[in-house]
A and B are shown apart, each in its own frame.
Chain A
Amino acid sequence: MSNPEFKRNLWLSFSTHRLAAMPALLALTFLAAALADPQDNVAERLYTASIALFIFIVWLWGARNANAAIVDELRDKTWDQQRMSALSPWTMTWGKLFGSTSFNWYGGAMCLVVVATAGFAAGKPDVLANVISLCAVGVTLHAALIALNLHTSQFESRVIQRGGMGWLVIILVFMFMPAFSLGDQKPVHWWGMEIGHALFWLDTALLFAACATFAAWRVVCNALQVRTRPWAWPAFACLLSAYLAGFAHEDASLWLIGLFVSVAMSYAALFTEPNTLLRWRKLRLLQQRGDRRSWLEHLPVWPTTLALSFAFALMVILTSSGTQSSYSAASILQPQYAQTVALMLLRDACILLFFSFAPNGKRAVGATMLYLLVLNMLLPFLAEVAGLETLRYFFLPFKDSFDSWSSVPVMAVHVAIALWLVRWRLRKVEAT
């Protein structure tokens, strides 16, 4: 299959020198690993070294190249040419995904050969599953970075335009991702099932590789003006909730996890999507015209997970009625607070819109974060220090000494004020 984007990346990534240098350097490294400690098992050492090299070459270096796949196009002003091409979104997606990282996969493939050979020689269990998992995690990282960079490409921040968000993700992944397991691991308990460690992580890696690739494709679709409807984002929230709920303690709830996931995803989308007045004006025009399809196509994704948050909050309350024991004190959130959390998200979205709709709304995200910090931390802290418990509860209505149900009307007042502010801003802007 001829893919011009893939081919272009091959032209840029490979040269005769690089083709020869990669296997030579890898061979020397493996030789050094084999000769390092003659007392130890050579196959064991090669297995460990090849996995470490794969992680460095494909996960880390490949992530850097995937991060640059979009950032470089934007920096070099070649992105318009790509958007004007006749390439389909899928051709563009896989051309970038595997083209920008082709040199890493070239080196990674050689490492995998050593992983498999040394793994079998050392009698390691689940060698094949580990090999596929390694590849799937690489694809997940690369696809997620392409999606993230395209998604945030409209931000005017230089740090973001230079791939800063991608680097943040790479650092976080390598900080928090547990080291790829080389030793024997216990089976994983998931939704009451006992699944072998390697098999479970293989399935997990494949699932998230598919999701990340799908996400990259969807973002490329939007960049190429191929409009999509916003169902994938809430669908992923549901999928992630179901996945995480599989690990949960028995007194926790799928709905509660769903609430947290959808709230977290709403905030992530809210602060990374363009929420300009122009976008909302367009939506209003489309609504007035009754053009439901275009309205959905232009809708940001955060309202979808916002709606999902309210649905999950409702389910938390409905499923908790009379069965308080299922949400014991160990539970991270009293069910009565579920609606309050969803309302808080709505309030924060309104605050962001209030700043975004300002004549100079470029710093809306920063301003919103600052005011949320003041509202959720500084003011409650000052009220508490001053001994004004009721005032503290008004700012942050989560406190055991108050009836938890009262938090809903308190947060509803916050929402009403935030909505009024948005309305006031709109009237002011329309009047000028």
Chain B
Amino acid sequence: MIEISGLTFDYPGHRALDDVTLSVAGGSVTALVGPNGAGKTTLMRCIAGLETPLEGRIVVDGMDVVEQPREVHRIMGYLSDFFGLYQDLSVARCLEYAAAAQGLPDDDIPDAVARTAERLDLADKLHRLSGDLSRGQRQRVAIGQAIIHQPKVLLLDEPASGLDPEARASLAALFRQLQADGMTLLVSSHILAELDEYSTHMLALRDGRMLENRTLKSAHQTDEHRLLRLDLAQPDARLPEWLKAHAQVALKEATESHAEFDFRGDLHAQAALLKALVHEGYAVSSLAAHKENLQQSYLRSVAAHLEGKQ
């Protein structure tokens, strides 16, 4: 859905993006992660056609963003980190304006407003002034404005900043729903745990360069291949060697009391492994699939990057 090649963007005295090449799969939810100043916002603004890069090409759904920005805007929604609302307009009018400005036919606008308000739990607030809403409600109105024309691509820059846990949970549910509808989402956030709930891919940036761009959920969680964590109630020095010798195990980390390893085999094979461990006399307290969370995944990418630098 989004193809970027050789993207370079400079600010005075500072290169924000340095020869970034990546692709974002259609229908995915990609978590854009990185420290402050990594280039996340600049990357999003370039994709949205709000900034013109020094070099490079950005293609969204087959259209070049620099050459056809207006056409790209029709299929794209963007929520800026520092978004604004028309404070003196009601929520209904904010949404109506957004729908009309995105080119929706007049006849379709009332339905679009009602559908969006319903989706964002704003139906009972349509007649309130947007300036009178709470931070979380304003955030939802802004997201509503970005999605009212049902874009194919939705860019969200720190969408959950300043939201309470309940609002974050409903936001995560909304993003999953949008993904289920076939929308492609690119979401940046500092709060990796929040992205973990709905992201399918991770795109890590650091110092304007891409560290990693990969699938999150499927790689370690297929029927035939999973990351497992084993915990013992009683430490046993034989454990690392025993696991190393097992044909279906690729050990990642092991101590006397716990181990993490890639396991090749289905659930029956996993049950057989557990049985063998118990048979060998290990006091197994748990053996379960261990999903690497986004935080771990990101930190691993950073560590690999720093190792590569040394």
List the interface of chain A (C-beta within 8 A of B): 2, 4-5, 7-8, 11-12, 76-78, 80-88, 224-226, 276-278, 281-282, 285, 298, 359-362
Can you list 14 A-B pairs, Cβ within 8 angstroms, ordered by A? A4-B97, A8-B89, A11-B89, A78-B85, A81-B83, A81-B98, A86-B101, A225-B50, A276-B12, A277-B12, A278-B10, A298-B52, A360-B12, A361-B12
A323 to B74, CA, bound (A): 62
* Cβ-Cβ contact count across A and B, 8 Å cutoff: 89
A83 to B70, CA, bound (A): 9
B82 CB contacts on chain A under 8 angstroms: 77
Is B84 part of the contact surface with A, judged by Cβ < 8 Å? Answer: yes
B86 CB contacts on chain A under 8 angstroms: 8, 12, 76, 78
Is B78 part of the contact surface with A, judged by Cβ < 8 Å? Answer: yes
Contact with A along B103-144 (1 / 0, CB 8 A): 100100000000000000000000000000000000000000
- Please determine whether A85 and B101 come into contact, CB atoms closer than 8 angstroms: yes
Interface centre among A77, A80, A224 (most CB of B within 10 A): A80
**Smallest distance from the beta carbon of A2 to chain B beta carbons, Å?**
6
A81 to B98, CA, bound (A): 8
B100 CB contacts on chain A under 8 angstroms: 2, 4, 7
Q: Which residue of the partner chain, among B13, B54, B84, B149, contacts A81 with CB atoms under 8 Å?
A: B84
A81 CB contacts on chain B under 8 angstroms: 80, 83-84, 98, 101, 145
Nearest CB in chain A to that of B105: its residue = A2
Given contacts A2-B106, A86-B73, contact A285 B54 (CB under 8 A): yes
A145 to B100, CA, bound (A): 26
A281 to B10, CA, bound (A): 10
B12 CB contacts on chain A under 8 angstroms: 276-278, 359-362
A285 CB contacts on chain B under 8 angstroms: 54-55
B27 CB contacts on chain A under 8 angstroms: none
Is B171 part of the contact surface with A, judged by Cβ < 8 Å? Answer: no
Contact with A along B2-45 (1 / 0, CB 8 A): 00000000111100000000000000000000000000000000
A101 to B98, CA, bound (A): 21
- Please determine whether B101 and A82 come into contact, CB atoms closer than 8 angstroms: yes
Given contacts A84-B78, A282-B54, A359-B13, contact A7 B97 (CB under 8 A): yes
**CB under 8 Å from chain A, chain B span 47-72:** 48-50, 52, 54-55, 69-70
B48 CB contacts on chain A under 8 angstroms: 84
Is B102 part of the contact surface with A, judged by Cβ < 8 Å? Answer: yes
**Smallest distance from the beta carbon of B144 to chain A beta carbons, Å?**
12
A80 to B80, CA, bound (A): 8
- Please determine whether B70 and A86 come into contact, CB atoms closer than 8 angstroms: yes
- Please determine whether B50 and A80 come into contact, CB atoms closer than 8 angstroms: yes
